[in-house]
Each structure stands twice: as C-alpha cells, then as structure tokens.
C-alpha cells in the first residue's frame, strides 16, 4: 500500500469523523516532506486540511512556539508529524481542553507508515491496551526485574492507567499513531532501584550496549556508559531527572527500530520515562520527557 491508501484507511478505521472536518498537519524541518505528503493525502481523500511548518524542537516534551500552540485551538484534529514529541506539552493539553483532538507522531518515517505497528489490527490493540491499563490502575506497585540482578520498584497506587490505543472515537482525543501502550504516572519521589535498558532511548536511538539506570527516591542519579551520559545531559539537572512514567507495549506488530514512537509500543517491552508528567496525572513539570525502552523484563505486580 502507498501513503495515500494508508492515510485513507487510518481515517476510516481509527477515527469517527465526518468530512470535511477541519484538520491541521504540523511538520518541522526534519519531517516536513513527509508531513506535507500526509496533508496532501488528506486533501485527496476529501478532508479539509491545512499545513504548518515550524522550527524543530530541541528535545521531546519541549513546548512548540506560541503561534503553533494558539493555532492548534482552531481545528477539530491536529496531526503532529515532528522530530520530537509534543505529547507531554501544555500546548497539547490546552488543545484537548478546547475540544481539539491531537495525534502525535514524533519521528515518523515512511517505513513506519508502511510497515510495523501501523499495520496492526487496531481492534485487537485497543482490547489489549485497555486490559493492561486496567491492570495498572488496580495495582499498588510494579517491580521490574532486568538482567541477572537488577530490580526497580515503582509505586503507582491511586494513579490511573491510561490506554493509548491508536483509536480515536471521541472529541478531544489524544495519543500516538502508531500506537499501542498502557501507561501511568508513578507516585513522585518514591521509586527506587536499578533497571537495565536494552532497547532504545528517545532522542538517542538503539542502545549500543545495555544502559544501567539507578533511581533513588524517584530521581535518576546515574546512567552508565556514553549513551547514559548523553541521557543525563538531555534531562538536565532539575526535574527532568524525575521518574515520570511507566508504560507497557501492547502492539503485536511493533518493532524496536531506534524510533521511540514505535519501540515503546512493542510486545514484551516496558518503558520508563523521566521529565514531565503533569499532562497525564502527575505533578512534574520539566519541559522534557525522555522514554527508555527495555526488552523482555520480568514484571511483578502487587
């Protein structure tokens, strides 16, 4: 299938919209060509669509320019095909609160449109994602075992699991495409232990060798190796180092390819993130949000 067919199928199966809904497609200099092709595919399919090209952000979770944030309020649906994620931003949250659905697709490539997670049966993804989100909501604590000896304990009691299904039936919906994850904002300042990251790290890519992260009282205090050093630099010295998210991949077609948008959706993975979580039930504001994916963890629910 070509891009136009993929976009047409997405609008049929993943959305409940009537033509000619007013749609905005946001691209940046890194993704502009693909974003423009996406917008042209919407136009060809009979949707009313506008395109806006903005400057690249420097990291995931950084707010877009104010002009973009204001523009997002004037549409029924906004697709964000950008280098870095706008998911955990106030611009996204404010757009949702104004009634706009915001679909974020950070780091999307043509390969990701045509292969992998985007090809999944989203009715199956939706069902399995809701199941995992309910499990998160019902749990008091999740303990993750990685490698031979590493354990990270994450209290989540009173917080609500959030399903990111890739299916957007309601007004003011929010999530990724491709999608398939259940996630939660852990209790701030309470997680302790170590976790071995064996998959990928947002803004960095596939890990060259496992990166050992050490968390004390909810704060990342050490990360091993050169990629760990880079992670700490991206997060900075402030709230960016606070544990912000625990997520579980629920898309059976997703691959680990060094693109966090797809990596964190893969089966048999969990991801933790550091930085902002005030947009999905937490209290941390940091202007950064970096996910770290690990493969085949052992999970203990309590």
**For the segment 54-102, what is each residue's pLDDT rounded down to a tens digit?**
999 999 999 999 999 999 999 999 999 999 999 999 999 999 999 999 9
The mean pLDDT of 265-269, rounded to a whole number, is 98
What pLDDT is attached to residue 67? 97
Domain ranges of the chain: 3-114, 120-301
Q: Which CATH architecture describes the domain 3-114?
A: 3-Layer(aba) Sandwich (3.40)
Tell me how far CA of residue 102 lies from CA of 93, 153, 206, 257, in angstroms.
9, 32, 27, 24
Average pLDDT, the chain: 97
Summarised one tens digit per residue, pLDDT across range 228-241 is 999 999 999 999 99
Residue 20's pLDDT band, with cuts at 50, 70 and 90, is confident
Per-residue pLDDT at 257 exceeds 90: yes
At how many degrees (to 10) do helices 32-44 and 3-13 cross? 60
- Using an 8 Å Cβ cutoff, are 152 and 215 in contact? yes
Beta strands per DSSP E along the chain? 22-28, 48-54, 77-81, 101-104, 141-146, 150-155, 162-164, 174-176, 181-184, 192-197, 200-201, 205-206, 211-216, 219-223, 243-249, 269-275, 289-295, 298-301
Structure tokens at 17: 């919209």
26 pLDDT more than 80: yes
Percent pLDDT > 90 in the chain is 98
- Alpha-carbon span 46 to 48, nearest angstrom: 7
Over residues 206-225, the mean pLDDT reads: 98
DSSP H or E run through 117: none
> What is the average pLDDT across 212-228?
98
pLDDT in tens, 33-46: 999 999 999 999 99
Instruction: Report the C-alpha dihedral over residues 289, 290, 294, 297, rounded to 10 degrees.
Output: -30
The predicted structure's pLDDT at residue 1: 75
Could you report the per-residue pLDDT of 153-195, keeping only the tens digit for each? 999 999 999 999 999 999 999 999 999 999 999 999 999 999 9
**What is the average per-residue pLDDT within 213-231?**
98
> What is the rounded distance in angstroms from the CA atom of residue 23 to the CA atom of residue 49?
5
């Amino acid at each position: 299938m070509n891009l136009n067919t993929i976009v047409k199928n997405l609008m049929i199966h993943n959305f409940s919209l009537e033509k000619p809904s007013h749609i905005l497609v946001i691209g940046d200099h890194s993704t502009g060509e693909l974003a423009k092709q996406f917008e042209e595919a919407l136009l060809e399919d009979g949707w009313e669509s506008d395109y806006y090209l903005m400057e690249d952000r420097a990291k995931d979770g950084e707010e877009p320019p104010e002009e973009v944030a204001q523009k997002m309020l004037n549409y029924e649906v906004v697709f964000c095909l950008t280098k870095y994620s706008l998911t955990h931003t106030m611009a996204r949250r404010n757009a949702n609160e104004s009634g706009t659905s915001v679909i974020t697709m950070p780091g999307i490539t043509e390969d990701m449109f045509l292969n992998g997670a985007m090809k999944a049966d989203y009715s199956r993804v939706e069902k399995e994602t809701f199941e995992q989100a309910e499990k998160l909501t019902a749990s008091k604590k999740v303990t993750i075992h990685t490698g031979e000896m590493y354990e990270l304990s994450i209290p989540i009691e009173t917080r609500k699991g959030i399903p990111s299904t890739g299916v957007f039936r309601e007004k003011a919906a929010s999530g990724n495409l491709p999608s398939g994850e259940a996630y939660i904002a852990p209790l701030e300042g309470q997680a302790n232990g170590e976790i071995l990251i064996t998959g990928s790290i947002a803004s960095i890519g596939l890990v060259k060798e496992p990166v050992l992260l050490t968390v004390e009282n909810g704060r990342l205090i050490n990360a091993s190796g050169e990629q760990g050093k880079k992670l700490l630099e991206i997060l900075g010295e402030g709230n960016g180092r606070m544990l912000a998210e625990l997520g579980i991949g629920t898309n059976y077609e997703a691959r680990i390819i060094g693109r966090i948008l797809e990596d964190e959706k893969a089966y048999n993975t969990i991801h933790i993130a550091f930085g902002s979580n005030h947009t999905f039930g937490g209290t941390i504001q940091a202007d950064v949000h970096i996910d770290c994916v690990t493969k085949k963890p052992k999970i203990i629910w309590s």
